[in-house]
Every structure is written in structure tokens, then in C-alpha cells.
Structure 1
């Protein structure tokens, strides 16, 4: 019989338990000398905890059937060495920095059988280094590093290298979901004409908390380096944003406006050969009153030669004042855009 436990605000855990299959902890201490025997454990969520590498090693070695590990608001770990073939999912959210911003450490992840990886939240100045994730199928990069001080003669060098190295390690994953901060760092790579790794991904999810001009170059970079892309998903959820602190002196050197896409001279092989489905999700009433979002959607319709369908989901209440009129105007606008694919349809499902 499966058993589970949710432990909050406790200092002692059942480190010897042969039947426990799921464990969630908050604000718990893990003693370095404690032997762990969770031989039936499959799901482990740890929140607000301080670790050492030795403690984490004991937990992993004492949980041979572990399939899913989530670490949230944790600190003190420098290496996750997961050799188990059963480990399939790893989520790391918000690495705490208790050094006052002085630490410039890294968390190394070695997990050759991992299939799903999510790197989320604020990581302070801690870099994530993927040593071996060769079986990865799906990756989420929706995190940020602190970038309020100059860390080298080149303001952005550290951040460019972090994102570039991560993309190199996950280039074989079939799906990538990427957030605003990481995309804006890619924008820096793009405007400086620096090389980025090619990928074999089939699905790209853009998870933005706003849609503004300085995500454009990063999106162009991702499309250019995803020649086998078949599905593009755009999710726009307005709210607190993990965005890059771009220096005004830097941004003033580049003209990234509504005409960015029409001035593109790159060849996007995914648009020529493979992109068949585009899905757009928004909780915003005035999505297509955003000139940047509209410019990008028009670019896709004009250039995706094998596109079969573009589906636009809007969660704003359908019964809201003037909602029908607004949707009709958007539909008329998009339907008037010349489509490169003769088979492309644009759909606006009505929320139930």
C-alpha cells in the first residue's frame, strides 16, 4: 500500500522507513551523519532546507527507487550526482543565496537518465552547470541570476556564457520551455552576432510575462537554431516578471522596434520546412493591442510556409464588455495578413 507524508516545521524525519513512497518536507533539518533508508520512496519534495553535498548524497543513495525530486528554496548544495536509472524528473526552484551576494558558486548536475528538468526562480549568483543530462527529453529554463552589478569588463559576459552553456547541454531535448530573463540574455547574444548552439528540438514554448521588443532578438535566435521545430507555443501571463536588467546605454545602441521582423534577413529553416502548429495563450484582454505581439504573429503568418494552424486562446471572460467586438477586430486583422502557407487556418476557440 502506498504511503505518503507531508512534514512541515519539524526538525526530525523518519530516516528509516521502508514503506514511504512520497515525502514532502518544509523547514526540516537533515543531519549529515543520519543514514537514510527510504527504499520505497518515489517522490521527494524538499522546501526551505539547508544541505551539504554529503547529506544529499545520503538521501539519493538511500532512495534507490526515487523517480521525482523537487528542491525549493534550498541552499548549500554544490553537486547533484544522480546515477539512478529510475530518476526521471528534477525540479529546482529558487536557490537561496545566504552570502549577501558575495558567493559566485555553481550547482553541478550529473543525471544521465533524467528525462525532465526544470530550472526555475531566482538563483542569486549561483550558476547551474549541467554535466551530463544525455537522456533529457524536456527542459524548462525560466530562472534569473542577479545582474545589478558589473561582474567583469563586459557587463553581460557571465550571463551569456551561462545560457549558452545550458543550451549546449540540452540541445538534444525535444521540448524547451524558456522564460523572459533567459530570452533577453539570448537577445544580447543575437545583437552581438555571437554563435548559439543548434538544437534538434521539435517544440518550443515561450513563457513570457510580458511581450516587449527586447525579447525579439532572443526569439529570433531560438527560431534560427531550431531548424526541426514543428510546434511553437507562446504563453503570456502578465504579472511579476523575471526580466533582465538591461543597461540603457546598451539598449540605446540598437533599434529593436516593430519593424524588427520585417527587416530580418536570417533564414529560418523551421519556418520554411517544419513549423506546422502555433498556439498562443494569453490572460490579457488587450493581447493584440500590444504592437510587438501583433508584429511577431504577422511575421509568423507571412513566413511559415508549411503552417497548418494557428490557435489563439484568450482566457479573458468572453462575457466581458466588448469582448466579442475585440475578438472580431483581431480576427479581421489576422485574416487580412497574407499567409505563406495555403493550408494555414487561424482559430479562436471560445472559452466555455
Structure 2
């Protein structure tokens, strides 16, 4: 009987199991199954320390980083971790056995003193032996402990991109030979005219040159036909005397420095091929409220840029332009077709925009990037400040006859704001109303408000400001029947 019951249960068991879920199969190790090219792509987006940490993910990955990694990136470390960081770099380099050429070798923010020179040379030798293509050496160092770049680096023919900071060039009898280098960035480096000339002569296909806060240069002379981009961050406009680059296509000048009494300012000589210029510098007056030197410098720059089709004017330079408008200085007519203005935080900037619209009779595209907090407003003096108490709409309408671009050329306006408050300012709304009301060939006016968070997380006050902005702008008269107003609220 017991057996019958037992058999009965056994016979019924398969029948009842039909309703049960199948037993779980063995979990598949998807990470270990990834192909090499996928692993290599993952590694390329991670700092080297994180790449090494992937060795705990699976047996296959335990040593994979040693043979697959072609990017070695060692990021900034605080000074009290300097020795630990050296040990980490040494350990990684000693275990790295990839036979492929090294795509990247970056040492960022390494706190250097003279005792570290042999160690840095050892690391650079490693990069040289692996035929590195993208080399970056950014040091934190004092003026008393400047690292002198080793001579073998000047003949590293595999380089395609080189970025060095707080180092020193000592060429001696060695000549530069970087036959494949396309991008060169040097910052906080002592340079001379001769060293720069030697560097350029050894770079037959160099395309982009970035000189950031380099001292010792008097002249930037670029006769190379390959160099198309020059970015200058300058600490002293009065030591650098001239820029000559007849084949250059794009020039950006940035930096902050003080005016020196009796000093001659930098001049732009031959920049005849230029298609883009970006003026984003700031001069601090020697005497409070005395901006004559800045006035003269910017006026001369604009004269030299008369034929450049795309011009960007930074916030501080935009403020200086208001002096030209207030002084009734006739604008030098520009061939500019694309104008980017970074400002419009006050009536002062509205005067500047008026001056640039008078200057740019062929303007087709205008981009305005209001800045909530300007770099540093210059002081004009009490008698000049009174002139800024004006009605925005009255001022713009009084100048409309001088804005030739409105009737023939201006087709696109973009206004890019960071946050809702700046987008609804009185000055900005007055400008939008004016452009819509008098832009006869205007096709698009785009308002981009970059918001720091998701829409459903924004406070009600911000949403209300955006709604008010939309309501105001859509109510403005449009002179062009083809004019479309587009609101775009991308989230950061």
C-alpha cells in the first residue's frame, strides 16, 4: 500500500510539473564573452587606474588590460600622494605588454620637483618605445623646478598630438623633427622667437597651434602653409609685438593683463587668409577708468579683421565697443557674415551691439550669448555713466536706418541663454522685439535656454519665467512674413 501510494505520487509528479517554471540555467558570463574590439573600446573611455581595476571582473579580464590597452592616462593627484602615484605609474608600465602602438600617454597634474626628472624621462622613454601618437605632459611645478624636456623627445616621429605644460625647451644642437605632428599645445612655457621658429620648421604638417600663457615671445611669425588654427592666451599684450600668419584660417586671442604706461600694444600684420576670429581678452587699465589703450587696441584689431567672414566678440571686448558707439566713431565696414557676441548684460552692451550691427552691413547670422556675470565691468567715469540711462527701444529704433543688414541680409538670429533669468532681461527682450520688427528678410529667430536640470524638477518660478518669455516674444510684430520664432530648451 505504501508502495502504491509512492508509485502514485511518482506517476503524478511529471503531470504536476508542467505548471512549474523550468529550473534556472547556468548564468552566462556576458562580460567574459565580449570580443576584443569591444573591450578595447571600453578601455579607451576609462582612466588607466579604472582600466586596471577591471581585472576583478572576470578571469578573462584579469590580465586583458595589459595586452589590449593602448591608452594610458594618469590623472591629477594631490601633492601628498605624489610618491604613491609614481609607484602606480611604474607598476602599470612594467605590466603593460601590448605590442600595438600607444595611442595616448597622458600624465596630468603631476607635482614635479627636480628629483623627479629621471623618473619623468623614464616614462617618456617608455612612450617613445611604444611609438606614442598622443602625448600629454602637464606638470604642477614652481619656477625654481622647471622640467627640461629631454632631447630624444624632439625626434619622436610617431607624434600626432603633443601637449606640454610648465616645461622648458632646451634645443641645443638638436633640431625638431615631428613629421606627423598635427596638433601642438604649449602652456606656461618660456619660449623665444627662435625656439618657436625651430619648432615650426620641424613640423611640416602642423595644423593647430595653441600657445597658452607663454612668456618670452615677442613675435609670432607663422609662414607655414599647413598651420590653420592659432589660439593665443596672453598674459602681457605689450611684450608680444606682432602676429604674422598669412595662411592662418582661425585665430583666437584670449587672456587678461594690465596696461603698461608707454608700452606699444600688439599688432596684427598679415592675416589675409583668416576666415574666423575670436577676440576674448581683457585689459585692466593702469589708471581706474582709463580705457584709452584698450579702445585703441580693439579699434585697430577690428580694422585688421575687416574681411573676416566670422567674428566672435567676448564680453569684455563688447563692453569696450560701447565707447566707440558713444563717441560717434564711424564704424569700419566689415565683411562679416556671421557674428557671435558674448554679452548683453546691460544697456552698455546694447550700445556695443548697435555698433557692430552698423559695422556689419553684410551680416547673415547673428548669435548672442548673454552672460549673467560679466568678467569685470570697466569703469567709464561719472559723466559717461549718465549716457547709459536710455530707453532701449528708442535707442535701437533711432539707429535702424544705419543697420543695412536688416533689410537685405540678416536671415538667422540665435540667442543662447544659461538659465531662464537671463533670457527674460529687459535689454534682451528689447533687442528681440527690434530684430523681429525690422528684420525684413529674417527667416528664423531661435531662443535656446539651457537649463541645469530636468523640466519636471524646475521650480514654478522658472517655468513661469519661460512662459512669460514665450508669451512676450510671440506677441511681437514681425516685419518678415517668413520669420519663424523657435523656442528650444535643451537640458544640460
1:248 aligns with 2:379: no
**Contact 1:238–1:284 (CA under 8 A) maintained in structure 2:** no
- Cα offsets for 1:225-273 (capped at 9, x unmatched): 1111111111124345154343333323554443422343642110111
The residue number in structure 1 matching 2:348 is: 214
User: 3-state SS of the aligned residue for 2:490?
Assistant: coil
Q: Which has the higher helix share?
A: 2
The residue number in structure 1 matching 2:179 is: 39
The residue number in structure 1 matching 2:484 is: 345
The residue number in structure 2 matching 1:71 is: 211
1:306 aligns with 2:446: no
Alpha-carbon distance change, 231 to 185 in structure 1, aligned in 2, over 3 angstroms? same
**Contact 2:338–2:364 (CA under 8 A) maintained in structure 1:** yes
Q: Provide the rounded CA distance (Å) in 2 between the counterparts of 1:334 and 1:88.
A: 40
Q: Provide the rounded CA distance (Å) in 1 between the counterparts of 2:465 and 2:372.
A: 19
Alpha-carbon distance change, 265 to 311 in structure 1, aligned in 2, over 3 angstroms? closer
1:11 aligns with 2:148: yes
Alpha-carbon distance change, 254 to 315 in structure 1, aligned in 2, over 3 angstroms? closer
The residue number in structure 1 matching 2:287 is: 149
Pairing 1:8-157 to 2, within 5 Å after superposition: 8-9=138-139, 10-13=147-150, 14-31=153-170, 33=172, 34-93=174-233, 95-97=234-236, 104-125=238-259, 127-149=265-287, 155-157=290-292
**Contact 1:180–1:241 (CA under 8 A) maintained in structure 2:** yes
What is the aligned residue count? 342
Q: Give the alignment's TM-score, normalised by structure 1.
A: 0.90
- Cα offsets for 1:148-178 (capped at 9, x unmatched): 4169xxx333222211111111111111111
Pairing 1:127-206 to 2, within 5 Å after superposition: 127-149=265-287, 155-206=290-341
Which is further off, 170-179 or 323-332? 323-332
Indicate the RMSD between aligned Cα atoms, in angstroms.
2.2
**Contact 1:237–1:284 (CA under 8 A) maintained in structure 2:** no
Pairing 1:231-270 to 2, within 5 Å after superposition: 231-239=365-373, 241-253=375-387, 255-258=389-392, 259-264=394-399, 266-270=401-405
Q: Which runs of 5+ in 1 are unaligned?
A: 98-102
Alpha-carbon distance change, 25 to 239 in structure 1, aligned in 2, over 3 angstroms? farther
Q: Based on CA coordinates, which of the two structures has the bigger radius of gyration?
A: 2
More relative contact order, 1 or 2 (CA 8 Å, 6+ apart): 1
The residue number in structure 2 matching 1:294 is: 429
Q: Which has the higher strand share?
A: 1
Q: Give the alignment's TM-score, normalised by structure 2.
A: 0.65
